Amino acid sequence: MIFAAILIFLPAFSGGCKSSVTSLKGVKSLARKPGEGVYYSLFVRSFADSNGDGIGDLKGLTERLDYLNDGNDSTTGDLGINGIWLLPIFPSP
């Protein structure tokens, strides 16, 4: 009985649900497949220190992002990477 009621009322209530798909014509996709591009494994603790305590941190990393990729393909002063793989940033037991 309950199953029959669900079959009757479910289509009536789901008729108001519309699916909308937004068109992205003219938008350049920046997403790459994992096998494409250059990914840099970065150990945050030893990459860049922002506060002078001798231990790297996320603020130091963000201050040095232009060293990894400055966004300009014609320059050679950066590594030209496409992605960063952050190694553990929390102390291990």
Q: What is the extent of the structural domain holding 61?
A: 36-93
Q: Does 43 fall in a domain?
A: yes
Note the pLDDT tens digit of each residue in 7-33: 666 666 666 556 566 666 766 665 566
Q: Does 25 fall in a domain?
A: no
Tokens coding 12: 């009536």
Q: Does 22 fall in a domain?
A: no
Q: Does 91 fall in a domain?
A: yes
Q: Are 43 and 49 in contact (CB under 8 A)?
A: no
Backbone angles phi, psi at 42, to 5 degrees: -125, 120
Q: Does 84 fall in a domain?
A: yes
Q: Does 29 fall in a domain?
A: no
Residue 93 pLDDT greater than 70, yes or no: no
- The per-residue b/e assignment along 33-43, b for 16 or more CB within 10 angstroms, e otherwise, is eeeeeeeeebe
Q: Does 81 fall in a domain?
A: yes
How many structural domains are present in the chain? Answer: 1
Q: Which of 27, 86, 25 lies closest to 60 in space, CA to CA? A: 86
Q: Which pLDDT score, from 0 to 100, does residue 35 have?
A: 72
For the whole model, what pTM was predicted? 0.55
For residue 53, what pLDDT band results from cuts at 50, 70 and 90?
A: very high
CA dist list (Å): 85 to 38, 56, 72, 88: 11, 15, 21, 10
Q: Does 1 fall in a domain?
A: no
Residue 51 pLDDT greater than 90, yes or no: yes
